[in-house]
Amino acid sequence: MNNETHLEVISAEESSVVDVVFVHGLKGQARKTWSNEGDDGFWPAWLVSDLEKVSVYTLDYPISVFEKRAKKEMDLYERAANVLEILSGFGIGKRPIVFVAHSLGGLLVKQILRKATESDDEDWCQVAASTQMVFFIATPHHGSELAKLGKVFPYTSKHIALLTNETGFLDDLNEHYKAFVNKRQDLTTVSYYEKHTTKSVVVVTRDSADPGVARSYLNAVDKDHINISKPANRFDTIYMGVKRRIEKLIQSIDDPESFALAEYYEEKSPADRRDLHQKLLDAGREHEYGYANNAQNGFARRYTKTGLLSTARENHDNLLSEVETRFITHVYHPLICQSAEHHEIAQALQDRVIDPLVGRSIGGTKFDAKSVLSAVYFLTEQCYIRWDAPK
């Protein structure tokens, strides 16, 4: 690891309209944190090849689990100022910014935004003002138990101590982030949390991963704390979620009027304009149409009644986001695109999409099985998912 902060440029084009900055966490590195073991495994580079008009950067900075080394390193306050000086030097802040952060890197991002909003430096202030999306990947907003962390990181340092919230630092930092988000109607927060253990420990639980802010989306991932930041391929839950939302952000910048409600699923996706009946017919599922149409109409009526910026609307959007991601990840690509039998598809839909969401509190709203299935058909009607493989 380098002994000073630097920003690695993956791609920086003058035609870009969005800057994406990756921020690693404890023991992380600018490339290793975001790379799987494959030859083409560095996913910041995937974004460059899969999206137009994006510049991508990865931040590198020393952050050790060894107390002897950590004593020589900047604390989070100093590091935030250090990073802001570097970002400003690269001109980051002149365009919309997307932060993608893993673990303690998410705390650094929040401290960067806090430092920027409190600064008299206009370039630093612009970093906060230009931030449009923050992706937290296994970031603890409310703390992790020190005993558990000791199993994963068998050393102690001032950086690990931050994760325990013993001093109340995490709560204080998150309260500032809440206030920051509440002042903005254009900032989206997306959080991912692990479901698998690391050395028998779930480091960041669902509760800890939820920042509790408006316009926030919370998603589970079948990975552990270390590998959650290393998508295996382009069909990975996190990669698809990050790519989709950045793509929408680019679209909103290119055509803001047509995109005004795109994040809320009210407008149909341009990807597949067939109606619900035609999609089911082409997939050999026409027998489902009667129920599917009634279900999606019912969901649509409830959805439009919730109000554009109400909590209920945000909760329904969060549900739709999770359903879409789960369907594409666990049903569409591995089964529908591989010509699986209808009963295999139905079982995966039940096991991997419906059951994990039934009864789970999403922003305080609990959805039953009928609501989740209705959301599937609503997404079909709105052209976000399909039931047949592309020809």
CA-CA distance, 248 to 58, in Å (whole number)? 22
Per-residue pLDDT of the chain (391 residues; tens, 9 = 90+): 456 789 999 999 888 999 999 999 887 899 999 999 877 899 999 999 999 999 999 999 987 544 445 455 577 888 899 999 999 999 999 999 999 999 889 999 999 999 999 999 999 999 999 999 999 999 988 866 544 555 555 555 444 555 555 566 788 888 999 989 888 777 899 999 999 988 788 888 898 899 988 888 899 999 999 999 999 999 999 999 999 999 988 987 876 544 443 445 777 776 677 889 999 999 999 999 999 999 999 998 888 766 544 567 778 888 888 898 889 888 988 899 888 999 999 999 999 999 989 987 776 678 899 999 999 999 999 888 899 987 6
Q: Are 194 and 221 in contact (CB under 8 A)?
A: yes
State the pTM of this model.
0.68
> Under a CB-based contact definition with an 8 Å cutoff, are residues 365 and 313 in contact?
no
Contacts by 169-173 with C-beta closer than 8 Å and gap 24+? 170/107, 170/140, 170/141, 170/142, 170/143, 171/142, 171/143, 173/107, 173/110, 173/111, 173/114
Burial of 302 (0-12, 13-18, 19+ CB in 10 A): middle
Work out the angle at residue 326's Cα, subtended by the Cα atoms of residues 320 and 327, and round it to the nearest 5 degrees.
85
Predicted local confidence at residue 69, as pLDDT: 53
The alpha carbon of residue 211 and the mean position of all alpha carbons in its chain are separated, in whole angstroms, by 12
Extended beta strands in 42-153, E state: 54-60, 97-102, 131-137
Could you read off the pLDDT of 138-191 as tens digits, one per residue? 998 886 654 455 555 555 544 455 555 556 678 888 899 998 988 877 789 999
**Residue 147's pLDDT is what?**
43
CB 298 within 8 A of CB 375: no
CA angle 96, 49, 244 (to 5 degrees): 55
Burial track 206-239 (b if 16+ CB lie within 10 A, e otherwise):
bebbbbbbbbbbbbbbebbbbbbbbbeeeebbbb
The residue behind tokens 């907003």 is 141
Can you give the C-alpha Rg of the chain in angstroms?
A: 21
72 Cβ contact list (under 8 Å, min separation 6): none
Helix ranges (H only) for 90-205 are 104-118, 122-130, 146-152, 158-164, 169-182
- Taking only the tens place, the pLDDT of each residue in 220-279 is 999 999 999 999 999 999 999 999 999 988 987 876 544 443 445 777 776 677 889 999
Q: Is 319:349 a contact under the CB 8 Å cutoff?
A: no
* Residue 59 DSSP SS3: strand
Distances (CA, A) of 180 to 24, 116, 151, 279: 22, 11, 34, 42
Q: Return the half-sphere exposure (C-beta side, CA atoms, 13 A cut-off) of residue 154.
A: 3
